[in-house]
Every structure is written in C-alpha cells, then in structure tokens.
Amino acid sequence: PVESLSRKLIPCLCITLSLVLCTPGNISCIYHYNVKFTCSWIPGKETYLTTKYTLVRKRYLFFLIPVTTKPPKIVSVEKIAGVKQLLNVTWDKPDPTLLDLNCRLRYRNTNSNTSVTVVFTMNQNKRRTSFNLTDLWDFTEYAIAIQCVGVGSEIWSEWSEEKIGRTEQQAPSKKVDLWRVIESSPSAANRYVHLMWKVLKEFPSSECLLGYKIQYYPENNASFKTTHSTTDKMAMLLLTGEAYVISVVAYNSVGESPEATLRIPSIGEKSTEIVVEIFFVLDSSVSEVSRYVIEWYEELETELLGRSWQYILNTTKWTAQKDAFKPFKCYNISVYPLYGNKIGTPHSIQAYVQEGRPSVGPVAKTDNLGKNEAMIKWKKIPKDKRNGFIINYTIFYKPEGGKELNETVNSDVLQYRLKSLQANTQYTAHVMAATKAGGTHGNRITFSTLKFKTGLKIFMHCDFLSFSPPPHMEQLPANKPHFLLN
C-alpha cells in the first residue's frame, strides 16, 4: 500500500511571496532608573510573516524619555518631645538624584483604612527631606508611605514600604460627661448619690486612661474634701443632707482632664423651676441656663444606674439617637436645666416612641346583678403588656339571640353599670382596651339578669304568736306582732 501510494504522489511547487514591511509607529519608552528600559510600538500592517525588530537607543535622547524613579526610602518617623499631635517624617530622595520630583505622602491611623495625602516637591539639590504632619490624634499610631514622579513625567513610582510612628501622649483634653441619680431616703440625715459618667468619643487617648478621680465636699466647707479613685465609670456616695459639690476627672500617665462638676442640692432644697414644653422643645428664655441634660429610662427599669442621659448645648431642641428607644416601651423622660454646676427642677413626661395594641385584654367579672342591670368590673392591664397609653375601654354585651351593644368609657374608669337590660335573660360580655394603635379584647363572661327585683320589704301578720315588741315597734298593737323581712 505504501508503494502504490508513492506512485500516485504528484510533485508540488512551493511559492514564497515577499511583502514590503510598514515602518513601526507610536514608539514610547520608559526608563526604570538603573533597572530596565521598556519600549512599546505599533508594528503596522499584518504581514503574516515572522518579523524581527531592532531597537536603537542613543544616549543624547536620554532626558527626552520618561524616567520612573525608585520608591523613596523613609528613614524615620519620630515624635518631637513636648510637641503634641505631630510626627516628623524624614526620607531620602530616590535615584536618579539629578531630577526634580513631585511626591505624595500618604498617612493613616493604623486602626483605619482611610488615608490622607499631602503633595510636595523635591528639587535636585536636596538629597534628604523632612516633613511635619500636624493636627494628628495624640498617642496614636500612624502608617506612612511616599511615592514620587519626575517633573514632566506621568509615571509614578511604587509606594515606599509603610513606616509606623506614634504621636506623643498628652493628658485628656476634655471633660467626662457626668450625671447623677439621687436615691430617695426616708431619713433626712443621709442619702445615696449614684454617679455615672461617659468618656467622650473625641478623646484620642480614651483607651489609655488609667482611671478616674472623684472629689466631693460640703458646699459650705470646701476644706472638708474627700477623694476617691476608681477604674469604673460609676460610683455611689453616701452623703449627708447638706449641699455638696462633686467633681470627676479622667487621668493617664501624663496628667488629668479638666474637671466635670455637679452640685447636689441639700435635702428639701427648692430648685429654680423652668418651664419646658413637651416634645423636647426647651424654653431658652432663662438666660442663666448654660445647658440641659436629657435623662431617660424605661418605666419598669429598677436599676438606678440603668438610666441614659445626654448633655444639650446651644440648642433648645433635641433629636434622639437611633436605637435610643425601644418600640412599645414606656419611658420616663426628664429635662434638667443647668445653671453652671447647679441643677434646676426637671420637667418630666412619659412617652412611647411607637405604640402597639395591648398584648392582652382586660380581665372582667360581673357584680351586683339585678333585674334590669349588671355591674361589669375589670382590672388594669399590666404595664409590660400595654404597649402604649390606654385611651379608653369599650364594654361589649349581647343578650342571648339578640344584637350586640357596646359602651365606651375613659381610661381611668374600671367599672360600668349596664342598664335597661332584659329581665331573666342570659347575656355575654367582654371588655376591650384600646391604644392609638388599636384595641385588644379581654375574656368573655356570661351572666343572667334576675327575674324579680331584690331588696323588697314584706310585712307578715301572724295571730298565733305573742311577744314583747322591741322599742321601735311600740307604736304597733301589742297583740298584733309584726316581722320585718328584707
């Protein structure tokens, strides 16, 4: 088969065509200093042939070619003793040193992905450069990197390796938010005062605090000062009935924050009263008021330290933070005016941020059944089941086989007498409690009206009995005894 196949082969002729090559265009080159020289171009029309290109470089064209510098080398990132919130960054100019450079310095808090960029220029005569980063947070670590580009070039170097530096620590610069709850006491001699405070988020060194110092003294005897230290954000003091001045400072290894002070009035002392409208629209007509404190807690909250509060400055309106209040929960909300470190008389309200239907209906029962009337009584719904303010109750009642009727009463009424009922008739009834969001029906009860009225007075005459009448019946004939039955 192979031989027969070879006899049938037909000689073929190979023809090679030669095409004229186009000159490459748009040649561009980048010189990575002392590393590599990279060029690219457009080859021209496709020839479908293997093509060899020769690149010729002439030195006198060097400065016409974009040069990519190496990343700068950061030598140091240091704080300056005694200078707060500042870092000094020093770095060496990258090769080639004969170029003027535009550089970008990028810095960020190591706990954040958000960075800030600063742009500056380095001239060819300066080998080492320093730059001060200011307005930083104190005692905070920053990551710093730099990249550069030759003036006139558009090709930036890679970012340098990040270098870490920490700013100098300073004493806390702001007061803590201080508040108190005075526990009522049957004794006029002593009372417990619960202190609580918050460290403001603006504290750059809040995570480096070592503790808090509490000082208090009678207002009329500042020399009798008592000092306590704690690492908690709350404290309980047992004070006598006189007025006290209390201060709290936060401290770290460098120093203390400014004092936050409050005055605790004496037992029975009347505070200056100020009118505050509801919906947190505050009366700013009293010029002595320096600020306000909004205090709120759930009505059923039993822990004195379970309360929340917020200082209000330079405004007479307050908008609650998101998630500060839960739906269907009743809150006690108070607004305290502050006169310096003195606390005025609060204005308090109860409020729901969102109301719902009661979780359960009223438990009802009947009382004092009569021929044509019946008394329906019910109990208040437990506070934790109301889900809103009860605005009214509705009593529904229906005779057997008849039409359902209803009567509505105010929220402070807990009983109602149904009248004009049919005698000797079975009724069903229930009570509905309603909030603004809707009503919930209570248990169904059944009762029957009487056939006859109760409380009739009946006189019976008996001839076969004889007895001495009581004093109040002496006017009746002695031989005609009478019985009074109710």
Instruction: Pick the closest to residue 51 from 80, 89, 24, 91 (CA basis).
Output: 24
* Region of poorest pLDDT, from 12-16, 93-97, 171-175, 273-277: 273-277
pLDDT of 211 higher than 90: yes
The string of pLDDT tens digits covering residues 395-436 is 999 999 899 999 999 999 999 999 999 999 999 999 999 998
Farthest-apart Cα atoms in the chain, separation: 169
The string of pLDDT tens digits covering residues 11-68 is 555 555 555 567 777 777 766 666 666 788 887 777 677 777 777 766 554 445 566 7
Cα distance between residue 239 and residue 190, in whole Å: 6
**Structure-block tokens of residue 483:** 């019985």
* Region of poorest pLDDT, from 78-92, 184-198, 446-460: 446-460
Cα distance between residue 274 and residue 345, in whole Å: 7
Residue 236 near residue 193 (C-beta atoms within 8 A) = yes
Residues 6+ apart with CB under 8 A from 36: none
Instruction: Pick the closest to residue 160 from 91, 108, 66, 79 (CA basis).
Output: 91
Does 74 or 31 have the greater pLDDT score? 74
Query: Which alpha helices (DSSP H) does 311-464 contain, by range?
Result: 383-386
Residue 291 near residue 312 (C-beta atoms within 8 A) = yes
The reported pLDDT for the residue numbered 449 is: 92
**Structure-block tokens of residue 29:** 């080159």
Residues 6+ apart with CB under 8 A from 371: 423, 424, 449, 450, 451, 452, 453, 454
Residues 6+ apart with CB under 8 A from 63: none
